[in-house]
Amino acid sequence: MKDTFTNKTVLVTGANGFVGAHLVNVLEKQGAQVFAQVRQNSDTYRFDRLNTKPTLIEMDLCELTTVRQHLEAIRPHYVFNTAVNRNYDDLTATIQLNTLALVNLLESAQGPRLQAFVHCGSSTEYGNLPGPLNETDLPEPCTLYGGAKLAGSHLLQSLSKSRKIPTAILRLFHVYGPLESDNRLIPTAIHNLINDKPVKLTDPGCTHDPVHIDDVVNACLLAARAGSYGDIFNIANGCKISNEDIVNTIASILGKTPSIHPGAFEKREWDRDDWFANVDKARNVLGWKASMDLQAGLSKTIDWMKSHAA
């Protein structure tokens, strides 16, 4: 797969984010010329932590003229869209980034030079459907973010098929690993357990389908080679694991006895007791499957956090 990206021009949007920064790092190691789109005045600490140095481009993805100018100059062979809006209460920004920005990118990138457009979608597009979740399920998003992500996926599918633009959509489940945001479940639990602090959770039984960042990056790279035209792929381990089991696994790796406080946080709209994916399509079409189970992935994450502690 390394030769696929050697000396290729690649644009990664939302490049300073968790998924984007790891993707930039691997693409650079594979010999790609990487352009990293970030918002103006964005924090790029993840690049420093990963010792990666892409060409930074401060660009508002919702401004079509700006996007066209930059992409005409870059002329990317590959585009990986990992941009997300973390202020989910901002209705306008959430809708624009997940719909208008996608159209702007695809419109500006299309052409004979573009070999693939890979978009990182979200498991929240499924909403409250029971697992195992399949790409053929009719989604029922229950949040603004999930609805906006689904709208973006549908737009990409229609444009990809009608204009013959090679596009793949990856529905990412619970991505974890080094440099995940500190306020998320796994880094919070690791930090608290190392420091003998209690771990506060929502009501018992909430489940996730965790997938390590290294496996997610690999899925992105395989999707770029797939020759897909609007196909959707679930990217997960394919198993449901409760919050309590995640914390207990971390505690076991650390040799700690955990103090777990279930019910400390209110259950959110998307918290479910059967949240997991069917990953057959990714395996059969992309040749992808997660290489790390939860034990291995958490061990690797814990080792990294310990070695990079401030």
Confidence of residue 304 (pLDDT cuts 50, 70, 90): very high
- Rounded CA separation 7/117 (Å): 17
Over the stretch 147-171, which tens digit does the pLDDT of each residue have?
999 999 999 999 999 999 999 999 9
Question: Do 160 and 54 belong together in one domain?
Answer: yes
Cα four-point dihedral sign 234, 99, 9, 16: negative
Question: Do 142 and 161 belong together in one domain?
Answer: yes
Question: Do 9 and 24 belong together in one domain?
Answer: yes
Q: Which CATH number goes with the domain that contains 195? A: 3.90.25.10
Write out the residue range of the structural domain in which residue 113 sits. Answer: 2-175+209-238+276-292
The maximal CA–CA distance of the chain, rounded, in angstroms, is 58
Question: Do 171 and 229 belong together in one domain?
Answer: yes
Question: How many structural domains are present in the chain?
Answer: 2
Question: Do 125 and 202 belong together in one domain?
Answer: no
What tokens were used for 277? Answer: 């994916």
Question: Do 253 and 160 belong together in one domain?
Answer: no
Question: Do 204 and 65 belong together in one domain?
Answer: no
Question: Do 251 and 231 belong together in one domain?
Answer: no
Cβ partners under 8 Å of residue 110, min gap 6: 163, 165
Over the stretch 239-298, which tens digit does the pLDDT of each residue have?
999 999 999 999 999 999 999 998 888 777 777 788 999 999 999 999 999 999 999 999
Question: Do 56 and 193 belong together in one domain?
Answer: no
H or E element, residue 78: strand 78-81
Question: Do 123 and 195 belong together in one domain?
Answer: no
Helix/strand/coil for 120: strand
Q: Which CATH number goes with the domain that contains 145? A: 3.40.50.720
Q: Is 300 exposed, middle or buried (0-12, 13-18, 19+ CB in 10 A)?
A: middle
Question: What value does the mean pLDDT take over residues 105-123?
Answer: 96
- Please give the pLDDT value at position 187: 97
Query: CA-CA distances (angstroms) from residue 225 to 2, 41, 150?
Result: 11, 33, 23
Question: Do 124 and 225 belong together in one domain?
Answer: yes
DSSP string, 199-247: EE-SSTT-EE-EEEHHHHHHHHHHHHTS--EEEEEEES-S--EEHHHHH
Question: Do 71 and 156 belong together in one domain?
Answer: yes
- Please give the pLDDT value at position 273: 85
Residue 35 predicted with pLDDT over 80: yes
Query: What is the average pLDDT value for the chain, to the nearest integer?
Result: 94
